Chain A
Amino acid sequence: MRSSTRNDKSTKLMNPASEQALHINRRHFFGKSAGGIGTAALATLLGRDGLAADTGQKEVPAFLRQIAPKAKRVIYLFQNGAPTHCDLFDYKPNLQKLHNTAVPESYIGGKRFSTMTGNASGKLLLAPVEPFKQHGKSGAWVSNFMPHTAGIADKLCFVKGMHTEAVNHAPAISFFMSGAQLPGRPTMGAWLSYGLGTVNDNLPAFVVMTSVSKGTSCGQIFYDFYWGSGFLPTRHQGVKFRPAKDPVLYLSNPNGMTPPMRRELLDDLSRLNELKLQEFGDPEIATRIAQYEMAYRMQTSVPELADISKEPKEILDLYGPGVHESGTFARNCLLARRLAERGTQFIQLMHAGWDQHNSLTTELYTQCKDTDQPSAGLIKDLEMRGMLDETLVIWGGEFGRTPFLQGKMNERKRWGRDHHPYAFTIWMAGGGIKTGQSYGASDDIGFNAIRDKVHVHDLQATILHQLGIDHEQLTFKFQGRHFRLTDVHGKVVKGILA
């Protein structure tokens, strides 16, 4: 992958197979009209190719070809509800030392918290629930909560100076995915689908899967604007695979209609639509024919994707016991790898249940158990297949949790931490990221990010950069303004690049 550049993209478009397909299509559909229908129709035929088609161009625009891509795809393991950096990755001996003492005022300084906390003054600091140890050659501090993640610490880059602007879940998640707290902007995956188009004709470029920890009492909702296309054409929105019989809605043939019958019906339908195309000349008809064919292919490719019966036991074991049940985070991680293998470029897994307002000593254990092994398993699996280098994996939530206690100190069973946007940790792996390091830092109690701070827009800029896209160049004009994922902010975080 290191040798490939964005020119790959144009090569891909003109590879022999698709060129032939294009040729056939063109001859097939436009044979009767001398001179063809022209660029507009051609653009429609290339409908799967996002921006190129949207601007009527045959190739990815030059400005998107100036950065050599390090990653071909992204797997975002989004942890909805905000995992507690204080208890998992951001080791602070001082927090242990100052346990049960009030937060020093100097840290607070008029900051805004959710109504549950109100004013942070006088709140008691809470030591991590489980001890931390150093792991790997890099000596990364990881809590006992996360033994499997600890085991691959050298393959990860912990970004410890994260900070954000929102203090409530939905706006904060929307901010991460779309760069805006309010719904309505395109999300990262939609931008990529728009900018880069599709690699695999049988599967969507942007796929979303969701899961919830068992026994979690405080779940957050998965709004579909977390993977929306905003003002971009809606074919760029994430396709949500569901933990149900049909991973894609309406995927199964109706009862009583066998696959051969469906094939025959589609063949005839296609012939009828071709007659219409010849008569009416509307290029949209050609797209329709192509999409009905894609639909048919997805009826095969999606069940094939979801069928894990041929995965060897040792692979399944990497992901842990949850992998045997559909709809779990573990199963979704495995499916993410299978999607990655098949060319899907943005795979967004969302796992809810990290909102430990009063369950640090109870539900946090389940939550970690559900996600720790599958996340580590995915990294190992990708590495074993030689795919990790070209796959950017990100693990993290929408903000962090307060270093101080929510609840009563003498009620250990109900210990919790509140929302905390001023410092938190995420980790990244693969995709040209410099691993085996911790980048940036929070202060001595994990309250404020103080060194090499990374804002959400910076992270977004970095993700696009690894895919070979300048975040300032990938724009879309809407309501009279050129919009981009990073609004008017964002700097690529050079310090985490390999």
Chain B
Amino acid sequence: MLRHLAIIVPAFALSAKAAPLDFNLDVRPLLSDRCFICHGFDQKARKAKLRLDKAEGAFARRENGQAIVPGKPEESLVWKHITHRDPDEVMPPPDSHLTLNDAEKALIRQWIAEGAEYKEHWALLPVKRPEVPNPTGATVRNPIDAFVANRLLRDHLKQAPEAPRRALVRRLSLDLRGLPPTPEEVEAYLNDKSPGAYKKMTDRFLASASFGERMAWPWLDAARYADSNGYQGDRERTMWPWRDWVVDAFNRNIPWDDLTVWQLAGDLLPNATLEQKLATGFLRNHPINGEGGRIAEENRVDYVMDMTETTGTIWLALTFNCCRCHDHKYDAITQEEYYKFSAFFNQTPVGGGGGDPQTKPVLEVPTRNRLARETILKAELAATRSELMTLEKDLHKNQAKWEKSRRTSTPKKTWTVLTINSAQAGKQKLQVLKDGSILASGENPKNDAYTLSTETDLAAIGSMRLEALRHENMTGGGLARSDSGNFVLTDFQVRVQPLGEKATPFKIKSAQASFEQNDHRIANAYDGNGKTGWAVYEGRNVDRDHEAVFSFGKATDISARASVIITLRHDSPHANHNLGRFRLSVSSDPHAKLGSREASLQEALAVAPDQRNNAQSNLIAGTQRESVPRWATLKKQIEGKEKAIKDNLKGLPKVMVMQDMDKPRKTYILNVGLYDKREKEVTAGTPASLPAFKEILPRNRLGLARWLVAPENPLASRVTVNRFWQQIFGIGLIKSPENFGTQSEVPIHPRLLDWLAAEFVDSGWDVKHLLRTIVTSHTYRQSSRVTPATLEADPANRLLSHGARFRMPAWMIRDQALSASGLLATRQGGPPVNSYQPPGIWAEATFGKKKYSPGTGEDLHHRSIYSFWRRIAAPPMFFDNPTRETCTVTTSRTNTPLHALSTLNDTTYVEAARALAARANREAGKESRTQIQRAFQLVLARPPSPEEQDILENIYNRAQVRFTADPKATRQFLANGESPRNSDLPEPKHAALATVCLGILNLDEALTKE
């Protein structure tokens, strides 16, 4: 419908009006279009030193009179010149190719006659909540309808009746969720006869998680969001956590003024949260140029200009980009003001060099899933910790009792160090130290075995202790010269050799160790398996001594002076893990405990509680705790959780965000926008024609953002409500959402726009409230059927004489197909995914450097908003969409054969048709008639008319004949798309029904929101 806009007859083309003219509505557009190019704001282009955009200029005395004499057209030079017959004198001059027709001249004459009142451009006047009119005979559900009906009356038009309920539920669902309603939702609404039924449905859709996904798409276009840099190289970036945040922000209905401040300056807020910093990714979504040979400063200036113009377009709808090179021809923005505005954005540490897709400053952002996991882990950790604390408290209460039970009557010496007679190793040198320990030295082989001949004075042996002791020669001062100071003792053998007899082995019954490394248990040291053994690694270079006690089950007599021969083998596949220093002791007690600790414990227990030193108190408490298995379990769980929490936040995506440098960067006016043509230095500031930048605001992005959404700023609210209106009605109340300057159209509904803007601000910038207000109006609920008469009178529906009817954006068409067919994946957010795309598109755009590979399974069927957006080759299925190279708030809606080819042949739709057929079969019985009806309803929320039903069945029948005759084609047709066929329908019937479904998905009505 956009194309018809050009033929709307502007108000000023009508002949002179009876009522006094409004400068803004009737006169300014005419002067702006025909006169201001030479007699406007731009000083350099101004001819004859005359400006007509201001009263001062127009009324100023000149040599030959006055351009405009209020009340006296005949004395006004303007009138003389526009009616002049001499081609050298007439205005506009013939070589400008601009002309004024008689009606237009009459209008100017009338305005001068009425006093030539000048007014500020309408968009710059403060927003004042207008009085709501009371049109007679109108359907008024809320003030929107009053304004619309009132305007229609002027053209002798009437509102259209309300659309049928089925049409309404589909329209509303698509507008608020971007998805068609389910049949259940349709039925529920049809059956709900209560007066609040429509509002209930509206609230339900607004509360749905799909709402944010629907709202985010136009915002991503405006924010030029992409998953790659653009330009040569087009490297992939990870800005998607910002995209997920946008979805979330809409769902949480964060007020629009907050969204503004956060996205432009969240980082500058006091105690900025992660979310507020993340929001500033908005500004960093601009393309990054990594082309070789580019000048870094030129790039950097480009990025600053991009941020400047994006902000200008989105919040002010003023065409800043003209001012890169010159004063604005039409609007009151000077080149100097452009660069002053850009100075707000010129303060980041970002340089222009290189093409790093994660150019600092960046923010590591936990994803939604990871955050959820972190919450769970933290809760679990807290619970475990609290259980541990309770347990420790209990233990503390019982400590005295426990101590009593644990204390042995007389602490006695348990262990006797063996006297070493000889010590030999396979490769190393063994040396006995003063403390009775043995030190290995010399070349450290992969594996080694030690044999020790010893003697003792003891009469009987019940247990043997092996102490592994640290030494400075060992790796990191640990226990061995392995990579981590760790050893693996694969075999420990004890033999007793009475004098002159053969040695007999002592069987080890059990053993304990100070620590066991996972599967390297102490039992492995005497299991007869040379590959397994005991080791003590605790995740770091070994930093403490260890010991093991081997029990022989009973005390065995040994005759005096018998030798005790001990063998230690290190045959592990872990090379060089040979024990470096150790000591051997024996005890007659077959149940001797781990030696040194027990001794210290008993020693500590013997001291009165208030006399104990810290180490002793800790040892006692620790030993008590360790004696409780639950305590150890809890301790282990806590360690595990702490590690999991740490790991959970590793490898996070990095989002480019904003930050200002401590030392401000100087900003200059750049001649014709060239980075190296610096002229005058400027400081940050806003255009003089807009409300003042208050002194209390900081002169940085935060101040700028606050200034944009300050109550006295007339643009942000008007511009924003206009964009939401465009989203719903297909065209804004002002048709140029990017330009509210003097060259924009004369508002058709100026009071409605102002009422909405005032309502929006007064509601606390509540987006859901605004949308609810719009969609519950009768204006929104009108039928979109048109008669030739309405079409003549209101061809582009700018007067809102009927409901909006327009082809949906390509992404919504795709989401509709996925949803109706039941293929749509439910996961929200996360890294971008690749769905179906014809081969070769990326490769062609990148000289083969980037290859597109479609995802699998669920990834193929995500909502379109999660599709990977390669900036230099955007997904072709989203036809008519902005490419996201620059901020785009306008919509393009064309009607070309290429789109037909896409929705008829793209695997996405062929597969969806097959799945839709399978679903209809599952849900609607065995008959093709009811199956067709079901499929039709799933897409269009209404049953087919009898006439439509006949045609649909004709498709089915003809297709079934053809498929039955061609089983190969049938199988091929059913094999389109990756998802399994998953239906009990016979193949020809399934293929025929899928053909019908493909037809349904391609109906004008299916492609259209009506």
Question: Which A residues have a C-beta under 8 Å from some C-beta of B?
Answer: 30, 33, 35-41, 43-44, 47, 53-56, 114-116, 168-170, 183-184, 210, 212, 219-225, 233-235, 239, 242-244, 246, 248-258, 260-262, 264-265, 268-269, 271-273, 275-277, 279-285, 287-289, 291-292, 294-295, 298-299, 472-473, 477, 479-481
Residue picked from A38, A239, A242, A269, most chain B C-beta under 10 Å: A269
Residue picked from B784, B806, B904, B1010, most chain A C-beta under 10 Å: B904
Say how far A275's CB is from chain B's closest CB, in angstroms: 6
Residue picked from A54, A56, A250, A262, most chain B C-beta under 10 Å: A250
Residue numbers in B under 8 Å from A222 (CB-CB): 844-845
Residue numbers in B under 8 Å from A265 (CB-CB): 955, 959, 995, 998-999
A55 touches B6 (CB 8 A): yes
Given contacts A225-B885, A261-B995, A284-B895, contact A168 B291 (CB under 8 A): yes
Which residues 739-796 in B have Cβ within 8 Å of A in the complex? 739, 741-744, 784-788, 791-792, 795
Nearest chain B residue, comparing its CB with the CB of A292: B900
The 3 closest A-B pairs by CB, nearest first: A480-B743, A256-B973, A256-B972
Given contacts A37-B788, A184-B886, A235-B895, contact A170 B900 (CB under 8 A): no
Given contacts A265-B999, A276-B1005, contact A256 B2 (CB under 8 A): no
User: Which of A36, A252, A481 is the one whose CB lies under 8 Å from B743?
Assistant: A481
Residue numbers in B under 8 Å from A273 (CB-CB): 1003-1004
Residue numbers in A under 8 Å from B2 (CB-CB): 233
A480 touches B1003 (CB 8 A): no
Residue numbers in B under 8 Å from A219 (CB-CB): 847
Say how far B867's CB is from chain A's closest CB, in angstroms: 16
A115 touches B294 (CB 8 A): yes
A284 touches B807 (CB 8 A): yes
**Is B897 among interface residues, defined by CB-CB distance under 8 A?**
yes
A250 touches B232 (CB 8 A): no
B962 touches A260 (CB 8 A): yes
Residue numbers in A under 8 Å from B901 (CB-CB): 248-251, 295, 298-299
A221 touches B845 (CB 8 A): yes
Residue numbers in A under 8 Å from B971 (CB-CB): 256
Residue numbers in B under 8 Å from A295 (CB-CB): 897-898, 900-901, 904
Given contacts A168-B294, A256-B975, A269-B1003, contact A264 B951 (CB under 8 A): no
User: Which of B872, B976, B1004 is the one whose CB lies under 8 Å from A276?
Assistant: B1004
Q: Can you offer 9 A-B residue contacts whose CB atoms are under 8 A? A: A56-B6, A252-B905, A257-B969, A261-B995, A268-B952, A281-B788, A282-B805, A294-B897, A480-B739
Residue numbers in A under 8 Å from B1002 (CB-CB): 269, 292
**Is B319 among interface residues, defined by CB-CB distance under 8 A?**
yes
Report Cα–Cα, A271/B952, bound state, in Å: 10
Q: How many residues of B contact A (CB 8 A)?
A: 97
A479 touches B738 (CB 8 A): yes
Nearest chain B residue, comparing its CB with the CB of A285: B1004
User: Which of A56, A183, A271, A283 is the one whose CB lies under 8 Å from B885?
Assistant: A183
**Is B529 among interface residues, defined by CB-CB distance under 8 A?**
no
User: Which of B1, B291, B744, B955 is the one whose CB lies under 8 Å from A170?
Assistant: B291
Report Cα–Cα, A294/B895, bound state, in Å: 11
Total inter-chain residue pairs, C-beta < 8 Å = 237
**Is B906 among interface residues, defined by CB-CB distance under 8 A?**
yes
A480 touches B955 (CB 8 A): no
A281 touches B991 (CB 8 A): no
Residue numbers in A under 8 Å from B97 (CB-CB): 472-473
Nearest chain B residue, comparing its CB with the CB of A112: B676
Nearest chain A residue, comparing its CB with the CB of B896: A235
**Binary per-residue interface labels of chain B (956-969) against chain A in the complex, 1 for a CB within 8 Å, 0 otherwise:** 00110010001001
A168 touches B293 (CB 8 A): yes
Given contacts A235-B894, A281-B788, contact A183 B973 (CB under 8 A): no
Question: Which B residues have a C-beta under 8 Å from some C-beta of A?
Answer: 1-4, 6-7, 32, 97, 231-232, 234, 291-295, 319, 322, 329-330, 736, 738-739, 741-744, 784-788, 791-792, 795, 805-807, 838-840, 844-847, 872-873, 876, 880, 883, 885-886, 892, 894-902, 904-907, 910, 945, 947-948, 951-952, 954-955, 958-959, 962, 966, 969-976, 991, 995, 998-999, 1002-1005, 1007-1008, 1010
B895 touches A287 (CB 8 A): yes
Report Cα–Cα, A115/B784, bound state, in Å: 58
A264 touches B955 (CB 8 A): yes
Residue picked from B742, B784, B785, B892, most chain A C-beta under 10 Å: B892
B895 touches A264 (CB 8 A): no
A255 touches B1004 (CB 8 A): no
Residue numbers in B under 8 Å from A224 (CB-CB): 873, 883
Given contacts A40-B4, A40-B7, contact A249 B785 (CB under 8 A): no
B905 touches A269 (CB 8 A): no
Report Cα–Cα, A105/B844, bound state, in Å: 43
Residue numbers in B under 8 Å from A40 (CB-CB): 4, 7, 791-792, 795
B791 touches A283 (CB 8 A): yes
Residue numbers in B under 8 Å from A251 (CB-CB): 901, 905
B907 touches A254 (CB 8 A): yes
Residue numbers in A under 8 Å from B744 (CB-CB): 480
Say how far A332's CB is from chain B's closest CB, in angstroms: 13
Given contacts A250-B906, A292-B897, A481-B329, contact A35 B962 (CB under 8 A): no
Nearest chain A residue, comparing its CB with the CB of B971: A256
Known: A264-B958, A281-B791. 18 other contacts (CB 8 A): A55-B6, A170-B291, A221-B234, A233-B892, A235-B895, A249-B901, A255-B972, A256-B975, A256-B991, A257-B969, A261-B958, A265-B998, A273-B1003, A280-B805, A294-B900, A295-B904, A472-B97, A481-B322
Nearest chain B residue, comparing its CB with the CB of A252: B905
Say how far A399's CB is from chain B's closest CB, in angstroms: 13
Residue numbers in A under 8 Å from B736 (CB-CB): 479-480
User: Which of A37, A253, A261, A481 is the one whose CB lies under 8 Å from B959?
Assistant: A261
Given contacts A33-B788, A56-B7, A268-B954, contact A256 B969 (CB under 8 A): yes
User: Which of B894, B952, B969 is the one whose CB lies under 8 Å from A233?
Assistant: B894
B962 touches A479 (CB 8 A): no
Report Cα–Cα, A261/B906, bound state, in Å: 17
Residue numbers in A under 8 Å from B998 (CB-CB): 265
Nearest chain B residue, comparing its CB with the CB of A418: B293
B1003 touches A272 (CB 8 A): yes
B293 touches A115 (CB 8 A): yes
B4 touches A256 (CB 8 A): no
Residue numbers in A under 8 Å from B330 (CB-CB): 480-481
Say how far A47's CB is from chain B's closest CB, in angstroms: 7
Residue numbers in A under 8 Å from B738 (CB-CB): 479
Residue numbers in A under 8 Å from B1004 (CB-CB): 273, 276-277, 284-285, 288-289
Residue numbers in B under 8 Å from A481 (CB-CB): 322, 329-330, 743
A47 touches B895 (CB 8 A): yes
Given contacts A184-B886, A261-B962, contact A250 B905 (CB under 8 A): yes
Report Cα–Cα, A55/B784, bound state, in Å: 24
Report Cα–Cα, A224/B841, bound state, in Å: 12
Nearest chain A residue, comparing its CB with the CB of B324: A182
Residue numbers in B under 8 Å from A289 (CB-CB): 1004
Say how far B909's CB is from chain A's closest CB, in angstroms: 9
Say how far A357's CB is from chain B's closest CB, in angstroms: 9
A234 touches B880 (CB 8 A): yes
Report Cα–Cα, A262/B995, bound state, in Å: 9
Report Cα–Cα, A351/B806, bound state, in Å: 39
Report Cα–Cα, A251/B876, bound state, in Å: 13
Residue picked from A37, A285, A480, most chain B C-beta under 10 Å: A480
A258 touches B962 (CB 8 A): yes
Residue numbers in B under 8 Å from A277 (CB-CB): 1004
User: Which of A248, A260, A272 is the one whose CB lies under 8 Å from B951?
Assistant: A272
Residue numbers in B under 8 Å from A249 (CB-CB): 838, 876, 898, 901-902
Residue numbers in A under 8 Å from B976 (CB-CB): 254-256
B785 touches A279 (CB 8 A): yes
User: Which of A242, A255, A284 is the one whose CB lies under 8 Å from B975?
Assistant: A255
Say how far A442's CB is from chain B's closest CB, in angstroms: 24
A244 touches B840 (CB 8 A): yes
Say how far B644's CB is from chain A's closest CB, in angstroms: 44
